[in-house]
Amino acid sequence: DAGVTQSPTHLIKTRGQHVTLRCSPISGHKSVSWYQQVLGQGPQFIFQYYEKEERGRGNFPDRFSARQFPNYSSELNVNALLLGDSALYLCASSSSRGYGYTFGSGTRLTVV
Amino acid sequence: AQSVSQHNHHVILSEAASLELGCNYSYGGTVNLFWYVQYPGQHLQLLLKYFSGDPLVKGIKGFEAEFIKSKFSFNLRKPSVQWSDTAEYFCAVNANSGNTGKLIFGQGTTLQVKP
């Protein structure tokens, strides 16, 4: 069985640009969450989607947005990139909202 | 606001030593508790989880954790560590409010095991 897959694995963007990160959950999982992990810190919750509806939003600016598609895959979009957005972005999927999450390997975003 | 605190930022042990990593959370309601491990260059992996029932939870690779509700704690233990346990360990809490499945992570503990 494929785990949670994220793409791309790495990317470099310039300040002010826009980025789209993608996530495919484990087959059968309907919940997808996004986290930002800055070096030396624990992951910080950005969004959760369940059955294609936003079910939670963390303390991130409106430059961050996400959506979930009918096949339960998800995209995280970040506009007007700042240097401080450089981080590892993690996607996690779950069969329900609170009972165990499987994480992908993440997308390493570097903003220069 | 909910928060998770991991007491030790960096722990260095010799092989065969016993391990205990502290985790405390702040939330007055029902919680689900998790320990994740991140080996160098790898993704977060679930070590163990507690939802309800026996407060002593056994996970993979010989790890266990004890939920003490009165102390709001969920400490991770292993009787005898190996060099391969070198990794970053994260405690996480999901407040079982039913509305969102967000996990709140601690800042992590780096474990270095010397051979």
- For Cα atoms A37, B88, B43, give the angle at the middle one, nearest 5 degrees: 60
Number of Cβ pairs < 8 A linking chain A and chain B: 69
Nearest to A43 among B46, B49, B105 (CB): B105
- Residue A2 pLDDT level (bands cut at 50, 70, 90): low
How far apart (Å, rounded) are the C-alpha atoms in residues A21 and A35?
Answer: 12
A72 in B contact zone (CB under 8 Å): no
Beta bridge partners of residue B26, listed in sequence order: B3
Question: CB-based contacts of B28: which residues, under 8 Å, 6+ apart?
Answer: none
Using a pLDDT cut of 70, give the percent of chain B over it: 95
Cβ B44–A48 below 8 Å, yes or no? no
Cβ B32–A106 below 8 Å, yes or no? no
**CA nearest A103 in B: which residue?**
B44
A101 in B contact zone (CB under 8 Å): yes
Using alpha carbons, list the distances in angstroms from residue B41 to A105, A108, B24, B55, B72.
9, 12, 27, 32, 31
Count of Cβ atoms closer than 10 Å to residue A9 Cβ:
11
In this predicted structure, what is the pLDDT of residue B13? Answer: 97
Position B100 pLDDT exceeds 90: no
Collect all residues of chain B within an 8 Å Cβ-Cβ radius of residue A39: none
Structure tokens that stand for A100 in this block: 């165990």
Q: If DSSP codes are grouped into helix, strand and coil, which group holds residue B69?
A: helix
The yes/no answer on whether domain A5-111 falls in CATH 2.102.10.10 is no
Cβ A41–B49 below 8 Å, yes or no? no
Q: Can you list the domains of chain B with their CATH numbers?
A: 3-114 (2.60.40.10)
Cβ A48–B102 below 8 Å, yes or no? yes
Amino acid in position A72? Y
In this predicted structure, what is the pLDDT of residue B41? Answer: 84
- Which residue, chain included where needed, has tokens 């087959």? A27
Q: Which of B25, B22, B21 is nearest to B3 (CA)?
A: B25
How far B111 CA lies from chain A's nearest CA (Å)?
13
How far apart (Å, rounded) are the C-alpha atoms in residues B7 and B89?
Answer: 12
Q: pLDDT tens digits for B43-96?
A: 899 999 998 899 999 999 999 999 999 999 999 999 999 999 999 999 999 876
How far apart (Å, rounded) are the C-alpha atoms in residues B69 and B89?
Answer: 21
- Which residue, chain included where needed, has tokens 């959506």? A67
The whole-number average pLDDT for the span A52-78 is: 95
